[in-house]
Structure 1
Amino acid sequence: MGSGGPMRSGYMATDFFAMLTEDLARPIRDRLSQLDIDAEVSLAPPTRAGSGDLSFACHSLARFFRKAPQVIAEELATCFDSEPRVTQVETVSGFLNLYLDWTHVAPQILEWSRTDDGALGLSQTLKGRRILVEYSSPNTNKPLHLGHCRNIILGSTVARILKAAGGDVVRVNLVNDRGIHICKSMVAYQNFGHGATPDSSGLKSDHFIGHYYVLFDKAMNEEYLAYSQGLAEPMNKDDYFNSELSSLGSQTRKMLVDWEAGIPDVRELWSTMNAWCEAGFEETYQRMGVGFERVYHESQTYLLGKDLVAEGLDGGIFKYAANGAVVFDLETIGLNGEKAVLRADGTSVYVTQDIGTAVKRFEEYEFDQMVYVTGNEQDHHFRVLFGILESLKPNYAGKLKHLSYGMVELPDGKMKSREGTVVDADDLMDELQKAAADAGRSRWPHLTEEQLFTRAEAIAQGGLKYFLLKYAPVTTFVFDRERSISLEGETGAYCQYAYARATSMLRKLDNADVGVEPDYGVLSHEQAQAVLKAMLAFPTDVRTAALELKPSVLTKSTFELAKSFAAFYNHKDCRVIGAEPAAMAARAQLVRCARRMLGAGLELLGMVALEEM
């Protein structure tokens, strides 16, 4: 499965806005060159409304001219006396403000946005760079939940944006399919399963496994309660689990020992239950429209890294602690204490596996960047991991990135999967789809139930993705089910609706504008200008989202285009159908081009561009 997005070979991708501002900055550069002044000249949209379309701050030139910035601005204003794309030059408080002649510029923008894939956000910014993006990384003892949704949607969208920016992207999943938590589900199934299967129970296979994980926790709580009753100072629950007093704890620990020893019946049960769980994950991935080029399993990687630890010992990067463990001195990377990389008995710890897996990936792919997408509770872990890796392999410096994100909370608090109070991803998506379908029955009475649910699914998926992406990754926020699929406000459905309205308008127009000479003067209208400006900003926003690993920049850009289009669509002076033919032809071109770019934004966000809503 490819990493998605509007990428293809042999395309032409330019950034019209970058070219325009470069062209318009040239007269200023030429004037400065004549005066032997070497200074940066960059035009950008003004930060204050009513200050033109592009602005240049002359304050940095004061030391060269030895004049006030306002005087410099007034002198430089004459650079544009013969520039046809600039209709007015204004100087205010040392700023040189340019007003574009939209009658002149608009047709150039429309031609670019109609034919150039740079308008779709494609670029060569990251050409030649191989980038691995690891996301999802589920445990095979429970279904995916809302927190996984943020991880998966963030990781898959970052992968699409990086690919749009020209990167050679490899999507990676590391399935956590071994360990004590996996054994808990296995023990519960042995004790309470009675030979049941996902088919016999009527449950989706990963939910079936999660049911036994919850059963284990419930049985463990009951066992601990029976133990602790009447005791003045009972041991805490974790210590009890790890003691010989706990029947379930003893069974679970033995299960792990037997698994590591390769006991056939334990391995067979493990294989069966993991296969069930992963089949369920795959259904959810397909529903969300995501996939991977490479899937690793912890059961195949957990022994990696021991040889690297031995190598690091020889090189003085690691040392023996007093208790016999092999440790890394965290002070070498600006932290306090030590981090064990091998226990005293020679067994691995979690970071040992991560060290080995990272090196294995570099050997396989020779990546230029490895992006790990995980929650911010792992910030310290990755700082330590990267410090160790860069000490062992100095050529990894600058190539390892932790895309850390905040938690998704519910109106009634956080989620706990062991207690069965977590919001499962499948259940949440079903809820959103049903809500969208219920809202759509009266809006689209002509649709069959199958058509209705197909459309509702697109709205539900789009709403979920947009809501989880519109916040910067570091942000912790509360997920609002109703707002996520609303047609109003900054939502995925709002953006989908803008695309559908453009499609509907063009359908009704039925190519009536073809062959008609357009009057581009009508695109000087404020609402049309706003659409053109949003279109110009889109490619830069996609590149920024890629370089900063911040899809929220793309959601905002897509929304701004949708919002400006809605304002244009609704304005009485911007009618397309029924307008005078020349005006109709110009506005129809704007609608077509805005629709094309809206579709690109939705595709990069992993959303379906609906033809009707």
Structure 2
Amino acid sequence: MPVLDDIVRDISFAIGGIIKNTDGIEEISRTMIMSPSQWGDISFPCFACAKKIHKNPHEVAQQIADHIAEKVPCIAVARADAGYVNITLDSAFLYQAIDAALQAGQSYGAPQTEKPLTYIVEYASPNTNKPLHVGHIRNIALGQALIAFLKYCGHRAISAEIINDRGIHIMKSILAYQKWGNDETPESAHIKGDHFVGNYYVLFSHRVKDDPSLEEEAQKLLQQYEQGEQEICSLWERMNAWVIDGMKQTYKRLGVSFEEEDFESDIFEKGKQVVADGLARGVFKKRDDGAIYADLTDVGLDQKVVLRSDGTAIYITQDLALALMRTARHPDLEGVLYIVACEQEYHFKVLFELLKRLGFTWADTCVHVSYGLVNLPSGRMKSREGTVVDADDILDELARLALQEVQTRWQDIDSVELHSRSEMIAQAALRFYLLRVQPRQDMIYNPAESISFDGATGPYLQYTVARISHILAQVELKKKIDYTVLIERQEHVLALLVLQFPSLVHELHNHLLEKKYYNPSALTQYLYTLAQETNAFYQTYRVLQAETPALVQARAALLGAVKEVLDIGLALCCISTPTNM
């Protein structure tokens, strides 16, 4: 258990003993507020417990404040303030966190996992009828961050994607190209392959408004494809190759790679076999029109079709097949974490119920990591109407804005360093901005705001790390450091925040394992607070020119511990930290 969690537990037991309410220890722990301020480090509101024991909260707070310090050695001061007990921890105790962070390095705060688990994290998983858009970037940022966190906590996290390269949406692009493509290619049009095919998907969506029969034509194409008609299969293969080539270029910019990559076209037939087996076992039923479905009304869902009446597969068909394949690949699989937009919540409720009924023992540990929509200040995006903002456009815009910032701030760097630094800053701006919002919330992405060097942004944190690195490069830390010279409140707060990091990781890890939810915005908020307090410290106190050599050493060590935590936290967000900016 992290040191700070032990402290909170000891304080909780002490409070329970003082007010003679030992049955409510867990509730007391949950009620505590960890928020360094002028009032103290930890606050305990006494209103709820006072009501239970029929006493005035002000009297209860005073009673606790009078006796808590003698029961918990690491408490320096406790005082009652308007029904709250405000506790300040002993600075000498806190400063042990500095050495702990410096000694542990990049493993500081990582939980000691007794039983590492194997998870598949499925993310990105695009359709091959259009380019990646800004929503995919949020998906990718969440996926990469989740994998980084699982690995940091000692688990095996397998990055995976399913490329949805067949289905009615793919046929709509193909049909539009058949009718109006005139043998044009991405090369002849000088357009990236995924954008080229995406234009035909948009074209179909416009034309079908005037000619609804195009929907039937697209459905017939799907039947022909699944029956293996050569002409359709050849065109499908050609257009898919265009899209995938374009997507791989975008993936490279985002640092995306997968350990496992499956294609719907390779597995949909296996999905049909899973359905056939389920039908034979009574899991599925057949309607009069030939469609095969699962009756899930007994668990509050509907009658879900898993195979159309014309014999063609749908999304859930291939999901069932993929589950079977993953079980075979990984007998020790703990579960699959599907990172997919909130619009698909019902789909995953159905999928997980079907997996349970088909006998997959790990179905209960599967999780739909749902995230909200990403809009721009101009409004909601709609890919069918061609108003979606492509990922490439966002990346290009960020690169342009980052280049402007770098050129403004540093005029003396060469061209290679200029573009390298710009790209690093652009990636940090993108990822931090997307991760700072709770995943389930819709969000508005503002590129100009995200690139700022002020406020809750990636570049602001990168700048903080670079500033610390510049200081540390000028100090050689000794093996033994006298921390008793650190007497300022701001130094105390920084040490407390360093001590708080393992507790945050522990909380996020437990939440992920128990409630199957990972909220990186809690991490980004903590990192921003740490960066804010660090910069406030710079503005008030000197480090290299501190009054004594001992104070130089102690403050440099404190900043070194802060840097370790910022480095780890940003790495968990898949953000690079520079040595200078």
| TM-score, with length taken from structure 1 | 0.83
The residue that corresponds to 1:88 in the other structure is 77
Tell me the amino acid that sits aligned with residue 241 of structure 1: L
CA distance in 2, matches of 1:575, 1:445: 27
Q: Are the aligned partners of 2:543 and 2:556 in contact in 1 as well (CA < 8 Å)?
A: no
Structure 1 stretches of 5 or more lacking a match?
1-13, 226-236, 244-248
The residue that corresponds to 2:449 in the other structure is 483
Q: Deviations 1:145-175 (Å, cap 9, x if unpaired)?
A: 1111111111221221122222221111010
Is residue 2:163 matched to residue 1:163?
no
Tell me the amino acid that sits aligned with residue 305 of structure 2: A
CA distance in 2, matches of 1:325, 1:194: 37
Tell me the amino acid that sits aligned with residue 429 of structure 2: G
Tell me the amino acid that sits aligned with residue 350 of structure 1: Y
Q: Are the aligned partners of 1:27 and 1:80 in contact in 2 as well (CA < 8 Å)?
A: no
SS of the counterpart of 2:40? coil
Tell me the amino acid that sits aligned with residue 486 of structure 1: S
Is residue 2:299 matched to residue 1:349?
no
The residue that corresponds to 2:570 in the other structure is 602
Alignment of 1:95-244 (within 5 A): 97-102=86-91, 104-116=92-104, 120-125=108-113, 127-190=115-178, 193=181, 196-217=184-205, 220=207, 225=210, 237-238=211-212, 240-243=213-216
Alignment of 1:29-428 (within 5 A): 40=25, 44-46=32-34, 49-55=37-43, 70=59, 74=63, 78=67, 80-81=69-70, 85-91=74-80, 97-102=86-91, 104-116=92-104, 120-125=108-113, 127-190=115-178, 193=181, 196-217=184-205, 220=207, 225=210, 237-238=211-212, 240-243=213-216, 249=217, 252-253=218-219, 255-335=221-301, 337-366=302-331, 367-393=333-359, 395-428=361-394
CA distance in 2, matches of 1:64, 1:182: 62
| Count of residue correspondences | 570
The residue that corresponds to 1:438 in the other structure is 404
**Residue number among 499, 504, 514 corresponding to 1:536 in the alignment:** 499
Deviation at 1:298, TM superposition (A): 0.6
Structure 1 residues 74, 360: CA separation in 2 closer, same or farther (over 3 Å shift)?
same
SS of the counterpart of 1:395? coil
Deviation at 1:38, TM superposition (A): 6.2
Tell me the amino acid that sits aligned with residue 293 of structure 1: E
The residue that corresponds to 2:522 in the other structure is 553
Structure 1 residues 604, 267: CA separation in 2 closer, same or farther (over 3 Å shift)?
same
Structure 1 residues 379, 577: CA separation in 2 closer, same or farther (over 3 Å shift)?
same
Deviation at 1:345, TM superposition (A): 4.5
Tell me the amino acid that sits aligned with residue 128 of structure 1: P
CA distance in 1, matches of 2:266, 2:215: 26
CA distance in 1, matches of 2:524, 2:78: 33
Q: Deviations 1:102-125 (Å, cap 9, x if unpaired)?
A: 1x1243110111122586442235
CA distance in 2, matches of 1:325, 1:496: 56
Q: Are the aligned partners of 2:101 and 2:561 in contact in 1 as well (CA < 8 Å)?
A: yes
Deviation at 1:478, TM superposition (A): 1.6
The residue that corresponds to 1:234 in the other structure is none
Structure 1 residues 269, 516: CA separation in 2 closer, same or farther (over 3 Å shift)?
same
The residue that corresponds to 1:502 in the other structure is 468
- More off after superposition, 366-375 vs 538-547: 538-547
Is residue 2:7 matched to residue 1:17?
no
SS of the counterpart of 2:305? strand
SS of the counterpart of 1:131? strand
The residue that corresponds to 1:580 in the other structure is 548
- More off after superposition, 554-563 vs 195-204: 195-204
SS of the counterpart of 2:95? helix
Structure 1 residues 268, 124: CA separation in 2 closer, same or farther (over 3 Å shift)?
farther
Aligned Cα root-mean-square deviation (Å)? 3.3
Is residue 2:456 matched to residue 1:468?
no
CA distance in 2, matches of 1:19, 1:602: 26
CA distance in 2, matches of 1:217, 1:71: 67
SS of the counterpart of 1:143? coil
SS of the counterpart of 1:89? strand
Q: Are the aligned partners of 1:133 and 1:372 in contact in 2 as well (CA < 8 Å)?
A: yes
The residue that corresponds to 1:232 in the other structure is none
SS of the counterpart of 2:294? strand
The residue that corresponds to 1:11 in the other structure is none
Deviation at 1:424, TM superposition (A): 1.3
Tell me the amino acid that sits aligned with residue 235 of structure 2: L
CA distance in 1, matches of 2:197, 2:56: 73
- More off after superposition, 541-550 vs 474-483: 541-550
Deviation at 1:517, TM superposition (A): 4.9
Q: Are the aligned partners of 2:69 and 2:76 in contact in 1 as well (CA < 8 Å)?
A: no
Tell me the amino acid that sits aligned with residue 495 of structure 2: L
